[in-house]
Structure 1
Amino acid sequence: MQAREVRDWWSSLSGETAAGQAAWPAVSHFCALFKKTKRNRPSGSKFGGVDRTKRRVACESSFRLLCLKLLCKCVLVLACLVLFVPYDWWYRYITGPQPIADFPPNIYTECAPDDAPVRLALVMPMTAHELPRAVANMYSWAWDPKLVPCEEHPLGIAANSLADFYFYFDLPLDENDEIIEAVAMLERMVHELPPSTRRCFGTIGFLSANMTPAESRNAYRHSLVTTQVSTRGTVTQFYRLMLENSLLENRYTHAFYMETDTRPVRAGWLEALHRHADPSVWMKGSIMRYPKPTVLGFEPYRSIYLYHINGNAIYRLGCPCFKAFLRAVMATYRDYAFDTSMAFYRLEMRRYALFQRIAHRFAFTDVVADWCDHAYSSSELGRTYLVHGKANITRFDWRKLGRY
């Protein structure tokens, strides 16, 4: 049918109405499209002339593409489960928690007495390179009347010495000239302490972890699974103090681990530490007081990280149970940060049977606050006496004064 014949046919159907004339372009386009389709239609078999092999190849390609899409979806679902669902729950669901018999019994039995009188030591871990930090720390409170460690009684009677103070070096005290000079400088500063500060302390001395230079180095290697940082030097120095220092064990029941970036913010802070030292608690310190950080890692470690006790804390000394616990933590997490490692070890669901027996040995307190690198105001501190953080320290560039 030619175009003129089609138009005459349409006119006979619709007449010379305006509606018919308006619809004509659409009818003309449809007829042209139909004619083109008919002209290009292949002839031959019932499959329109398409080769059977090509059709089979096309079907196989479509099937492979479908399988690939399903595989990608499965991988995505698995990744979501691993990243957002605690895999420890799945592990426990399948295998059950470890029975208590799997843990050394001396972690929860034959512990030190819970009613022992408190004998406190302040320990400031440092390296020779951290001498400017230690000096800045001491000057920030030792000569400030508003930050005296212990206050006088209402009758004007000076308080007795509440604790001993130790500068705790990583290397032997006679390892090199740098350490010898650092010790000499700190000794001169101690001799110059004002009476209002000096009367609060008994002995002010020096300790060493007797590490080698290789052991003291920090690698700062990150674990993508647990979110932890490997700080071999810092971790080794801590474990040497808690597990191998017989001097502290024999003289004291507690030690406050006071890093060089932990500073008093209120008078009477040493008395507050002494009051909060509890013989029945192995570790008492601060939760993260700053806004929730972005934690990269797998569950359950991402969630547990938010509930760890910062390492600047009060620790129980000489308790066989706590020492057994620390040895188990050290064997499991080795060079990773000791404070988060302790949290991971006791809070993982597979160790729930052990957690039931030692949960009361760890406690949070507001006597010290962990603010890390975040700024804070006095209104946010409440009854806090010491702050661990660098944001409000402006006298030194702390980023350039770290462990080598």
Structure 2
Amino acid sequence: MLYYYILIINLTLLVNSYIFKYETSCNSFEFKDLENLIGSLHRYALDNGQLIVRDIGLTIGQRKLLKRYQNIEIISAKYKQKENIPMINVKHEFFPINETLFSRYNNGKYNYIDSIRKRFYLAIVIPFIQSQFNKLIDQLNFEKNYSPCRNQSNSIDLILYHNEKISSILDNKTRQIHYQNKCFKNIRIFAADLSENENSYPIGSAIMWKKLLINEQFSRTSLRYYGYTHFFLMEPDTRPIRSYWLDIIVEQIINGHDRESYISTQWWMIGSLYRGFQSLGQNYLHINGNALYHLSLSFILFLQYVSYEYPYDSKQSSGYDLDLFLYLFKHIDKGKKFWHKFQFSDFIQNCWHTGCNEMNEEFLYNNPNTYLIHELIKDLQSYHLINIPSYFTNVRLLNYSN
């Protein structure tokens, strides 16, 4: 209590209903503090506040992310400070008292990261291994029946993500795929480069998933390294059942706003609980990994707590997606703070092993909001794709790996 009153006494008056600018400095290891500071600014002073960030060692990915955040300007370390712009410590945060904005030390708590308003940059990630290559081709061919989007987008990429090294047989084979679609600005190839011990199920899929979510300063397979704000994981056994499925994914993010709007995302994961016909029991209540994720640093920090208790390469793990919910069920008090970050939806349905009976017209009628199905299908060609043309040509693609 004493600390609280000392903190209040030393508050600095910042603004009272007029436009203001503040400058802070940040290196790569303070980025979570910076994101918390930006989030507090967007939460309480969005329309009349601007933050200038002096770059004293940010990573490429961090700079890319900042360029997508509203009212943020990046300057170099050598840029001369303007006398009329006050400084604020990056480890502080804004908060209001009686419609007046003050600052205080964040005390190592990052409550405002998910309040950041940003323009979304979405990655559709298809993870696969050699035995799934034909399913990958089938999946790409579904666009002939179900167009992903109505209009071209400059904020959505497609990533083909395999488990092997760059220049492996699978990598070279993937780079010969000639696939173009107006719905994606870029088509990239990521190589997870799994070790022999990692290259097995379910450990391999968990590690590939985790590498996408690693902090942007540590890995080039980190999606945040490229400036992505969200991603949808779409395994080769996930397929559309309606056109414009990509537009529906985007709608989960923008929630009725214009695509160029700055928006905040308060959730971390949106997807389907089990909708198939097997009896799994309440212990398997979770969102399947084929889901939409918010690449929030607060989510990444949460995943660190989960991985400490359920290491992905240990017998304690029940699968990276189920582990999230086992952790929440086990830690009831902690879970109360995070359950709202995980949202069930029916834009995708998980019918693992049984199918959803989606070929039945009654299913389509009763599930008008479902556009994607996740299930195991032995022969995708028998559904719609009878004559699949060759997708192979000599096309040069960029390398992306660790």
Q: Which residue number in structure 2 is paired with residue 18 of structure 1?
A: none
Q: Quick check: 1:165 aligned with 2:179?
A: no
Q: 1:283 aligns with which of 241, 247, 269?
A: 269
2:120 to 118, 121, 138: 118
- Distance apart, 1:259 and its partner CA: 0.5
8 A contact 2:163–2:192 mirrored in 1? yes
Bigger RCO (CA 8 Å, 6+ sep): 1
Match 1:214 to one of 197, 204, 209 = 197
1:357, distance to aligned residue in structure 2 (A): 1.0
CA contact (8 A) 1:107 1:320 kept: no
- 2:362 maps to 379
Aligned-pair identity in percent equals 24
Distance change (3 Å), C-alpha of 1:115 and 1:379: farther
| Residues in 2 aligned to 1:107 and 1:132: alpha-carbon distance in whole angstroms | 47
Partner Cα distance (2:109, 2:244) in 1: 35
Whichever structure has more strand as a proportion of its residues is 2
Q: Is 1:185–2:186 an aligned residue pair?
A: no
2:294 is the counterpart of 1:316? yes
Q: Give the Å deviation of 1:364.
A: 0.8
2:376 equivalent among 356, 374, 390: 390
Indicate the residue corresponding to 2:321 in structure 1: 339
Letter in 2 for 1:235: A
Aligned residue runs from structure 1 range 3-402, under 5 A: 109-139=111-141, 141-144=142-145, 147-151=146-150, 158-174=151-167, 176=168, 178-186=169-177, 188=178, 190=179, 193=180, 198-218=181-201, 231-244=202-215, 245=219, 248-250=223-225, 251-277=227-253, 279-293=265-279, 295=280, 302-305=281-284, 307-317=285-295, 319-335=296-312, 336=317, 337-348=319-330, 351-375=331-355, 376-377=357-358, 378-381=361-364, 382=367, 383-391=369-377, 393-395=379-381
One-letter identity of the residue aligned with 1:261: D
1:277 deviates by: 2.3
In structure 2, what is the Cα distance between the partners aligned to 1:127 and 1:309?
A: 23
Letter aligned with residue 324 of structure 1: L
Structure 2 unaligned blocks of 5 or more: 1-106, 255-264, 384-402
CA displacement 1:47-98 (0-9 Å, x = unmatched): xxxxxxxxxxxxxxxxxxxxxxxxxxxxxxxxxxxxxxxxxxxxxxxxxxxx
Deviations 1:91-111 (A, max 9, x none): xxxxxxxxxxxxxx9786353
Q: What 5-or-longer segments of structure 1 have no aligned partner?
A: 1-104, 152-157, 219-230, 296-301, 398-404
Deviation at 1:128, TM superposition (A): 2.6
1:252 CA drift (Å):
1.1
Paired amino acid for 1:184: R
> 2:162 touches 2:171 (CA, 8 Å); kept in 1?
no
Distance 1:111 1:208 in 2: 30
Tell me, in whole angstroms, the C-alpha distance in 1 between the residues paired with 2:136 and 2:277.
27
Q: 1:119 to 1:394 in 2, by over 3 A?
A: closer
Residues 284 and 314 of structure 1 are in contact (CA less than 8 Å); yes or no, is this contact kept in structure 2? yes
CA distance in structure 1 between the partners assigned to 2:129 and 2:115 by the alignment:
34
**What residue number does 2:260 align with?**
none
What is the CA–CA distance in structure 2 between the aligned matches of 1:208 and 1:113, rounded to whole Å?
32
Quick check: 1:149–1:200 contact (8 Å CA) kept in 2? yes
Structure 1 residue 181: deviation in Å? 3.2
CA contact (8 A) 1:106 1:324 kept: no
Provide the C-alpha distance between the structure 2 equivalents of 1:124 and 1:329, rounded to a whole number of angstroms: 24
Secondary structure of the structure 2 residue equivalent to 1:214: coil
Indicate how the Cα distance of structure 1 residues 344 and 132 shifts in structure 2: closer, same or farther if over 3 A, else same.
same
Q: Is the contact between residue 162 and residue 271 of structure 1 (CA under 8 Å) also seen in structure 2?
A: no
Q: Partners of 1:392 and 1:172 in 2: how far apart?
A: 27
Contact kept? 2:164, 2:171, Cα under 8 Å: no
**Distance in 1 separating the partners of 2:287 and 2:198:** 25
- Name the CA distance, whole Å, in 2 between partners of 1:264 and 1:373: 17
Distance 1:239 1:106 in 2: 24
* TM-score, structure 2 normalization: 0.58
For 1:171, give the aligned amino acid.
E
**CA radius of gyration, larger in:** 1
The Cα of 1:162 is off from its aligned counterpart by 4.7
Aligned length: 251
Indicate the SS of the match to 2:205: helix
Counterpart amino acid of 2:175?
A: A
Instruction: Show CA shifts across 1:237-262 (max 9, x none).
Output: 11111115555214111000110100
TM-score normalised over the length of structure 1:
0.58
